[in-house]
Structure 1
């Protein structure tokens, strides 16, 4: 290999290296994608309405909506109204797992959980990402991001069960980290699940390119 070719190769490697430093690591690096089928997407909705009145799946986009006075997802439940994807058959209790999806929340939707990890030692959930007036919060508390309305955003939610940590990335940037809430049987959910208070009458979120990873 001549001097000129070596020099060109050196510059190429240097450019690639610098680009990788500027861009940073992707949250999915080191993870293995879990194959998903239609059977993994269990839709929970108000028990007294047909599926098509609270959910649609067209052109790769899942649209989920609910009203504040809707019934819960089954007659014996006393929980708040929801239309959610519950990732069936993907429960876990160890290892490191990750949810990835592109979400969209229309202006006016306030008060719903749009992503959550269900399960905890002494609570129903380990983490909830909730939208209030366009801001994303950890449950109803810590502010994670602002100005979330009317745009697509990438969500990566990583749960290190053995390390007891949950990390939130938005558009590839780490935004939040917290301890989980103890060992349990866990699974991911996304959609709209109304909080107990401070909610809009109509709540909606949309999702595309959903993936589950583990390592």
Structure 2
């Protein structure tokens, strides 16, 4: 899962699975042992505060500073495999919602 639109990078958030663990880029494990199980993923992106918060099964697992940018969108799915090559990769998503809170200015 990715939030595209960073100031100097293509993304401001990237979550991916390696060896059964969910990672923030290649820097930090967000949740261990997620292969072959369903889980709820929520990502809050506060653009004004430049902060992203990741929840797995309603538990906060990661809070990071954004990478700038003024236009953002997200993608999810299976993209590539570079470690422990196997014949099948799968990503299932349901109930995807994007909520946008517009801040009123005075």
Which TM-score band (shorter chain)? 0.7 to 0.9
Secondary structure in structure 2 of the residue aligned to 1:152 = coil
Partner of 2:66: 180
In the superposition, the TM-score normalised over structure 2's length comes to 0.87
User: Could you say which structure has the higher strand fraction?
Assistant: 1
Distance 2:70 2:85 in 1: 32
1:147 to 20, 33, 44: 33
Secondary structure in structure 2 of the residue aligned to 1:177 = strand
Distance 2:36 2:61 in 1: 20
What do the CA deviations read for 1:50-94 (whole angstroms, capped 9, x no partner)? Answer: xxxxxxxxxxxxxxxxxxxxxxxxxxxxxxxxxxxxxxxxxxxxx
4+ aligned runs moved over 3 Å, structure 1: none
Q: Structure 1 residues 120 and 199, CA, compared in 2 at 3 Å: closer, same or farther?
A: farther
Superposed counterparts of 1:22-61, under 5 Å: none
Deviation at 1:185, TM superposition (A): 1.2
In the superposition, the TM-score normalised over structure 1's length comes to 0.44
Partner of 2:83: 198
Deviation at 1:149, TM superposition (A): 1.1
1:134 to 20, 33, 42: 20
Mark the runs of 5 or more structure 1 residues left unpaired by the alignment. Answer: 1-114
Matched length = 100
Instruction: Say which structure, 1 or 2, has more relative contact order (CA 8 Å, 6+ apart).
Output: 1
Q: Structure 1 residues 128 and 199, CA, compared in 2 at 3 Å: closer, same or farther?
A: farther
